[in-house]
Structure formats: C-alpha cells, structure tokens
Amino acid sequence: MVNQIILIGRLGGDPELKYLPSGTSVTNFSLATSEKYKKNGEMQEVTTWHRAAAYGRLAEVCSKYLRKGSLTFIQGKLRNNTWEDNEGKKHSDLRVIIEKIAFLDPKKVHERSPDDSIPDDEVPF
C-alpha cells in the first residue's frame, strides 16, 4: 500500500510553530493549489486548500523560511485525525504530514524577517 502526496502551491498564511508536550516542534500551515481548465469556451480556475504539518527539525526550518505567499513543494503522507471536543462533538481533520520540502521562491524571499510578510494584495490568489 502507498500513502504519498506531492503538492506545489502557495502558503495561505505564515506558518505556526508550536511545541508538543514531549518538546517536539510542529509547524502547521495551509497550502493553496490551483488548476485551470476550459468550460464552455471560458477559462476556469479552481483553488484547493490543503492543511500541512511538519515535525522536528523540518518544522523549525519551515517556520524560519516560509511566509505567506511562499511557493513551496511538499511531499508526504495524508493523515486523517478525528477527535471529540469538550461538548462531545466529533471533528475530523485531513492533513499532509510533510516528509520532504523544497522552497521554490527566489532566495531573497527566504531572507525576509518574520515581520516582513507579503501584503494581502500581492499574494497571487
């Protein structure tokens, strides 16, 4: 059996770095992918949002170098988590657990400080 996904897209927001009770770092972010096709002679575009998570050293690297709008390649596996909140309501979450990542933006994008995020009107989606 194989559980493998490869995506290239742009981050919808800055990554969020957190630490688990065990001390392991985890970074979560959303990644937008899009596809274009013709329908009735007109170009259409569909954007799909994916939740992604990286753990350990990879989480720290993602937190340091990725920002909202970063063009990014991720490869990993899909994991579906289910849980029940305090009120007994069931929730489900499908996300990509990142195993490999490549930063596809020019080097200067990665040299920005965390305070230099891309303004909303410059993000291409």
Q: Which CATH class is domain 5-111?
A: mainly beta
Tokens 């195993």, located at residue? 99
Strand, helix or coil for residue 5: strand
CA angle 34, 76, 18 (to 5 degrees): 95
pLDDT score at 105: 86
Task: Output DSSP code: residue 119.
Answer: P
Query: What are the residue boundaries of the structural domains of the chain, listed by start?
Result: 5-111
Q: What is the pLDDT of residues 29-62, one digit of tens each?
A: 999 999 999 999 999 999 999 999 999 999 999 9
pTM, 2 dp: 0.77
Q: How far apart are CA 10 and CA 50, in angstroms?
A: 10
- Taking 70 as the pLDDT cut, the residues of the chain under it are 107-125
